[in-house]
Structure 1
Amino acid sequence: MDMLNQIFLYTHITAGFIGLAAYWVPIFAKKGAVNHRRFGKAFLYAGYVVVTAAVLSIGTRAIRYALSDYSFEQLESFWGFAIFLGYLSLVTFIMLRFGTLVLWEKKDPTKLASAANLALGYGAIIGSVAVIAYAVLVRPEVTVVLLALSPIGLLVGPQIVGYFKGRETSKRGWWYSHMGAMIGAGIAFHTAFLVFGATRLFDIGVEGPFAFVPWILPTLIGVPANMIWERHYRKKFDDPKRSKLEAPA
């Protein structure tokens, strides 16, 4: 099982680097152009591989530890890590999937309101609640990190459900949703890289009061960036954000 876990781990790392490299091309490329679509797909598929490999890696280790004589207390750091990475993988998958789905039906998103698609939104909410419950009840070493990142699902889950149920009032709702979802997936990618990749690759050790900076820095940058970017495009399209009551019939 150790060899199998190593395969999953190196697959995860390789796909992660490919995804990180591909991510920035569509960000700056002309939207809808060849490079935007080509590298966007590369990021999408790399993301799916990253998520799958991460889940399989966590799963094989969890099975091995469950069959061992270790107590829960002895493996507390692993379970905290597993919860964090599992939640990060869930959010990444949901963002990638939602960001792709909104391109399928731009005029009437309610046509996408299948049980499987709505499960993306509800899954994000349930994932957040589960992480919060684990952090509060168990209080692992990474409690601060789990509580800092857990609201993501509570924020994006209702937005996804609302989008599929037709609560988006703008005709370009698919544009803002696609952009926000991909930025969200990018936040997850960069969080994983800073926490698990950069610290080992460049031998960077952040200690003391700044120890949690790598865990939350992408979120602190990405969320405001998404808000600024959406505001920019709404101004460009002369498309101010309206409530359902203010939307034109």
Structure 2
Amino acid sequence: MLTLFHTLVAFHIVFGAVGLVCFWVPVLGRKGSPNHRLWGKIFARTILMAGFIAVLLSLCTLIDPLSTHPHLKDPVFVRGIFGIMMFYLAILTINLAWYGVETLKNKANHRANRRGLNLFLQPILIVAALGCALEGILIGQLLMVVISIVGFATAGTNLFFMFTPNPAPLTYLKEHVKAIVGAGISVYTAFFAFGAVRIMPTIALHPVLWAIPLITGLGIILYHHRQIRLRLEAHSTSQSNKSLGLGF
């Protein structure tokens, strides 16, 4: 078990590190450019792999908490944080990365968003978030309860978009940004928090540490949503001018 766990950790770090670096290329680069598409695909694929491996790591922890985390002595704490919460965050990351890819791929066929794994991941995330919240209450970890709200909000907004019959123009682009940046937030949160547990256990669950990637990510999402709105308004103004004979 321990050898398997350490092997999974190594692969998780590799995929996660690549994703952490790749994240900034599509975020900061010109949207729609070849670089944006290339590095966006690399980010999504590496994050999906890191998320899948995190699911396996969380299951190993639930089976044998103290052997997998010998530096920590409380099995209840280890199961809660590295088992239940890591499983939830892994599902959240997978959900966001997959949904972000699907919304863009299905921009011309909105109904396709309601099929297969994209749909299946929404109730799975709700169940994982509920499990994280309940475990947080049982073991007295308020952070687990608070962080579970992100999962409920993610699945709720995803389902709202997926089952909206005719979304407004460019809504799919807003959902794409929300999901991909959200996946980045999730990965950076795990990097700061779970990495800090090994280096500085006393601050690993400090709310400020968890707030840094969340606030940064929300700022990025709001900025890009504003850019999309301005783009849509400019297009609408151009179309109105043409209909009035003011443009060519």
Which TM bucket (shorter chain)? 0.7 to 0.9
Bigger relative contact order, structure 1 or 2, given CA contacts below 8 A and separation 6+? 1
The percent identity for this pair of structures is: 24
Deviation at 1:110, TM superposition (A): 1.8
Measure the CA separation in 1 of the matches of 2:16 and 2:232. Answer: 34
Unaligned ranges ≥5, structure 2: 68-72, 236-248
Code of the residue aligned with 2:3 in structure 1: it is: M
**Rounded Cα–Cα distance in structure 2 between residues aligned with 1:131 and 1:168:** 34
Q: Which moved more, 1:32-41 or 1:219-228?
A: 219-228
Pick the aligned partner of 2:144 from 130, 143, 146.
Answer: 146
Higher helix share: 2
Verify the 8 A CA contact 1:12 1:54 in the aligned structure 2: yes
Q: Does 1:47 align with 2:47?
A: yes
Alignment of 1:175-214 (within 5 A): 175-197=173-195, 203=199, 207=203, 211-214=206-209
Q: 1:20 to 1:207 in 2, by over 3 A?
A: closer
User: Aligned partner of 2:125: which letter?
Assistant: A
Distance 1:121 1:66 in 2: 32
Q: What is the aligned partner in structure 1 of residue 100 from structure 2? A: 99
Q: Deviations over 1:204-238 (max 9, x none)?
A: 57649x93321232113322431232123202321
> Corresponding residue for 2:238?
none
Deviations 1:165-193, CA, capped at 9 Å, x for gaps:
12563221111111110010010011011
Compared with structure 1, are the counterparts of its residues 89 and 109 closer, same or farther at alpha carbon in structure 2 (3 Å cutoff)?
same
Q: CA deviation at 1:196?
A: 2.4
Contact 1:148 1:216 in 2 (8 A): no
Aligned residues: 229
Counterpart residue number, 1:217: 212
TM-score scaled to structure 2, two decimals?
Answer: 0.82
Alignment of 1:171 with 2:172, yes or no, is: no
Kindly report the root-mean-square deviation, in angstroms, between the aligned alpha carbons of the 2 structures: 2.7
Is residue 108–residue 166 contact of structure 1 (8 Å, CA) maintained in 2?
no
Question: TM-score, normalising length from structure 1?
Answer: 0.82
Alignment of 1:113 onto 2:114: yes
